[in-house]
C-alpha cells in the first residue's frame, strides 16, 4: 500500500446541480478559484468542465475554458490540468418519433468536441469510450467507434494524454482495442466510472473484474457518484488505482453536510494517507502518467 496515489478533483461537471448546492462553481472565476483551492488542498489533477454563466448549463465555449486555464496557470499552484472533451455527445430523441431531436440535444462530431483541446493543449483531456443510455427518459450519449478512433488519433498528434472514460464493460473492451491499435500513447490512462445510470453499477466485484481486464502497464483511476464517492476512494486504492472526488460527482461531505471541492479533496487525502499511501504531487503525477507539459 506504500505508493503514490494521484488525486483528481472534478470541479463542476455539466449536470443540473447548481440549484442543489451553492458551492458548485459556475463562472470561469469560480471554477478557477475552486481549482486553485483544490490544488492548495493537495489535488494532483483538476478536471475541468465549464458552464454558461447565464444559464448555468454545461458549455463547449473555448473562451470559457481559456479563461479558467489562464487563471490557474497564473496562480501560485501548478496542478495537472485535465479538460473534458465529452461535451457535444448529447442526443435527446422523441420516443414516439426517434428521428426527431428534442431540446437538450448537443451533438457534434468527435473532432469538434476537441476545439478547446486544439487551442489550449492541456496535459490531459477525456475521451468517453462508448455510447450510453444516459439516465431516465430518452437522453443518449453518442460516441461511436469511428468518432473515437478519429478523436484518439488527433489527441495523440496534439501530445495530450487521453483519459479514457469507461462507463461499462463494452467501453472498456473498445478502449483496449484502441490501445492495441496504437491510438493511445503509453501508459494508457483509464477512468472507471461507477454508478452513472445506466452504466456500470457501484459494485466492488465489478470494479475488480474491470481492473482484471486492463492491459499491462495501464494507469487507472476510479470514482463512484453520490454517497459512494468517499468510500470509493478507499476501494480504488485497495485495488491499486488512483482516485477522483469533487462536486461533479457528489455534493456532500457527510449526510446533510454540503461540501466544497477543497473539503472533498482534503477528505480524500485523509483516506489515502490513512491507508498507508501518499498523494502524488502534480510533478509526480506527470512522471507517473508520462505527460507532456
Where are the chain's structural domains? 4-289
* DSSP letter for each residue of 224-292: E-GGGHHHHHHHHHHTT-EEEESTTT--EEETTEE--HHHHHHHHHHHHHHTT-EEPPHHHHHHHHT--
CATH number attached to the domain at 4-289: 3.20.20.70
Q: Residue range 42-58: average pLDDT?
A: 97
- Enter the pTM of the model: 0.96
Q: Residue range 35-55: average pLDDT?
A: 98
Model confidence over 143-195: pLDDT tens digits? 999 999 999 999 999 999 999 999 999 999 999 999 999 999 999 999 999 99
Q: Residue range 43-64: average pLDDT?
A: 97
Is residue 1 very low, low, confident or very high in pLDDT (cuts 50, 70, 90)?
low
Maximum separation of any 2 CA atoms in the chain, in Å? 56
Whether residue 42 is predicted with pLDDT greater than 90 in this model: the reply is yes
Amino acid at each position: 500500500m506504500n505508493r503514490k496515489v494521484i488525486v483528481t478533483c472534478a470541479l463542476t461537471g455539466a449536470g443540473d446541480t447548481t440549484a442543489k448546492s451553492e458551492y458548485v462553481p459556475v463562472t470561469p472565476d469560480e471554477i478557477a478559484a475552486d481549482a486553485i483551492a483544490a490544488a492548495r488542498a493537495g489535488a494532483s489533477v483538476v478536471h475541468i468542465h465549464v458552464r454558461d454563466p447565464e444559464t448555468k448549463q454545461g458549455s463547449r465555449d473555448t473562451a470559457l475554458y481559456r479563461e479558467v486555464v489562464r487563471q490557474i496557470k497564473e496562480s501560485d499552484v501548478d496542478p495537472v490540468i485535465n479538460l473534458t472533451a465529452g461535451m457535444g455527445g448529447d442526443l435527446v430523441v422523441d420516443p414516439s418519433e426517434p428521428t426527431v431531436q428534442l431540446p437538450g440535444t448537443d451533438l457534434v462530431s468527435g473532432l469538434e468536441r476537441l476545439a478547446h483541446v486544439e487551442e489550449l493543449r492541456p496535459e490531459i483531456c477525456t475521451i468517453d469510450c462508448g455510447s450510453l443510455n444516459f439516465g431516465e427518459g430518452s437522453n443518449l450519449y453518442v460516441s461511436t467507434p469511428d468518432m473515437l478512433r478519429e478523436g484518439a488519433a488527433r489527441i495523440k498528434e496534439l501530445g495530450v494524454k487521453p483519459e479514457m472514460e469507461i462507463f461499462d464493460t463494452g467501453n472498456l473492451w473498445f478502449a483496449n482495442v484502441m490501445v492495441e491499435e496504437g491510438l493511445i500513447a503509453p501508459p494508457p490512462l483509464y477512468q472507471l466510472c461507477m454508478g452513472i445510470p445506466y452504466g456500470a453499477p457501484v459494485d466492488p466485484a465489478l470494479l475488480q473484474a474491470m481492473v482484471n481486464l486492463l492491459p499491462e502497464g495501464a494507469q487507472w483511476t476510479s470514482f463512484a457518484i453520490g454517497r459512494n464517492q468517499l468510500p470509493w476512494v478507499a476501494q480504488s486504492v485497495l485495488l491499486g488505482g488512483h482516485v477522483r472526488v469533487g462536486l461533479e460527482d457528489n455534493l456532500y461531505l457527510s449526510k446533510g453536510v454540503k461540501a466544497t471541492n477543497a473539503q472533498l479533496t482534503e477528505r480524500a487525502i485523509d483516506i489515502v494517507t490513512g491507508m498507508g499511501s501518499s498523494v502524488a504531487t502534480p510533478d509526480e503525477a506527470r512522471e507517473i502518467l508520462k505527460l507532456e507539459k
